[in-house]
Amino acid sequence: MLVSLALLALGVLTAVVAPRLLSRSDWAEREPVVALWMWQCVVAAVLLSFALSMTFSAAAAWQVVRGRIFAPAPRGVIEAYELGTHRPWSAALAVVLACGGLWTAAMLTREIRRARARRRQRHGELLARSPLLPGERPDGEGLVVLEAERPDAWWLSGTAPRLVVTTAALRRLKGRQLDAVLAHEQGHARARHDWLLHCSGALAGGFPGIPVFAAFRGEMHRLVELAADDVASRRFGRLTIALALVELNEERGVFGPGQVPDGDLPQRVNRLLAATPRLTAGRRLRLTAAAALVPVVPVLVAFVPALRALG
């Protein structure tokens, strides 16, 4: 029971402290890919802590579960976990955490189904507005140009991924700006940012009262855009992609006063124009390694009694 409570407390502590530390860091905008990795490791550590706590609580409450989990373990290891104590509380904790796990799986399934439905709808709308030419394959990848007065460009994922650009965007983007926008969208597709957004959206939607999941969703939306901006800037320059963002969004009023849906665009443009240097390779490596160790901590806590029993 003590191991279960320790893992539960560790999960809660990680969920409370880690987002505050990450929000105060001054390197996330300079290294959005590393920040994405660190956020994923933090959320994985929280979920792993709760999953291990549920497992040990179930083992303490029910002999059947205990026999399956500790079947190959020596007797001394089983005694070190003190699984026979506090059975009613262990059962209650295991049931609560199991319900949370089932709810998480249900929310993720719902998010995936909604994403697929939206993708099918957008593919249908795209096919209606831009029908296939004679001899064109419906599953072929390529660039689709739509007649529209609003400048826009987006990547449409799925079994037949397409890069969609409006005619207004083609008129406004000059020189290599269009290439930079295409590189930006391709950066999203190659890094599979849509999966990060789906997972973060499922957790935040399923547990609206948990701040760490709300912060996770907000940071994923922000950091994936910064990471895609960096992909484009490394190929075509920071000024090129910054001017392209201005050309695509100037008419939407995002650079004026007031609250707008894409209110982070001015910060993205300022970040590109500031050209703040990246972190050194050594510091990037240390941050990546430190983030990878965060999910290891719950595993170590879970094995502490066993290691002590084995000497």
- 135: helix, strand or coil: coil
Instruction: Determine the Cα–Cα distance for residues 224 and 197; give it in Å rounded to an integer.
Output: 9
Determine contact, residues 99/40, Cβ cutoff 8 Å: no
pLDDT digits (tens, 9 = 90+) for 104-115: 999 999 998 998
Question: How crowded is residue 282: how many other Cβ atoms within 10 Å of its Cβ?
Answer: 8
Determine contact, residues 274/280, Cβ cutoff 8 Å: no
- 107: helix, strand or coil: helix
| Nearest Cα to Cα of residue 162 among 181, 180, 186 | 186
Residue 200 is predicted with a pLDDT of: 94
Residue 241 is predicted with a pLDDT of: 94
Which residue pairs from 165-169 have beta carbons closer than 8 angstroms and sit at least 24 positions apart in sequence? 169/247, 169/248
Low-confidence ranges of the chain (pLDDT < 50): none
Residue 135 is predicted with a pLDDT of: 58
| Nearest Cα to Cα of residue 54 among 82, 91, 23 | 91
Averaged confidence pLDDT in the chain: 86
Residue 280 is predicted with a pLDDT of: 94
Whole-prediction pTM value?
A: 0.88
Instruction: Determine the Cα–Cα distance for residues 124 and 129; give it in Å rounded to an integer.
Output: 9
DSSP string, 159-196: SS-EEEEEHHHHHH--TTHHHHHHHHHHHHHHTTHHHH
Q: Which residues pair with 163 in a beta bridge?
A: 143, 155
pLDDT digits (tens, 9 = 90+) for 65-105: 887 887 777 888 777 777 766 678 888 999 999 999 999 99
Residue 301 is predicted with a pLDDT of: 92
Q: Any residues with CB less than 8 A from the CB of 252 and at least 6 apart, and which?
A: 260, 262
